[in-house]
Amino acid sequence: MTSDELDDKLEACRKAASGYGDKRGLKETADDALKTVDAFIREDVPDEYKTVAEIDAWVKRDPRHTIGVEMKKKRYSDFAAAELYKAILFAEVDKYRTDAATDRDINKRHR
């Protein structure tokens, strides 16, 4: 792999992983938002629901909970994609460094 090819690959990975910190923050915020929404929904649970299982089922049927879960799934998916591209970026750099070190070693032995 030439240096230009590596630069092209790395640039593509950089673009795909851009905003990594923002995506991580949005993922964490989505977790907190879902917990907060669920806490508000639990405040509205009718007194007829007594057991934890009944209360949890009631919370999960609430549309606000469903919206929160969908938001969390999207945020996690965005973050996972950015994390994958970041891992690819590091793997490509490591491979390039290893190849370059191997080439230097071979050149030394052939002198």
Sequence ranges of the domains in the chain = 3-109
Beta carbons within 10 angstroms of residue 41's beta carbon: 19
Name the H helices within 1-111. Answer: 3-16, 20-43, 52-61, 63-109
pLDDT number for residue 22:
84
Question: How sure is the predictor about 87, in pLDDT bands with cuts at 50, 70 and 90?
Answer: confident
Question: Does the pLDDT value for residue 83 go beyond 80?
Answer: yes
Q: Which of 72, 74, 65 is nearest to 39 (CA)?
A: 65
pLDDT by residue (tens digit) across 14-71? 776 677 788 888 888 998 999 999 999 999 999 999 899 999 999 999 999 999 999 9
Mean per-residue pLDDT for 82-97? 81
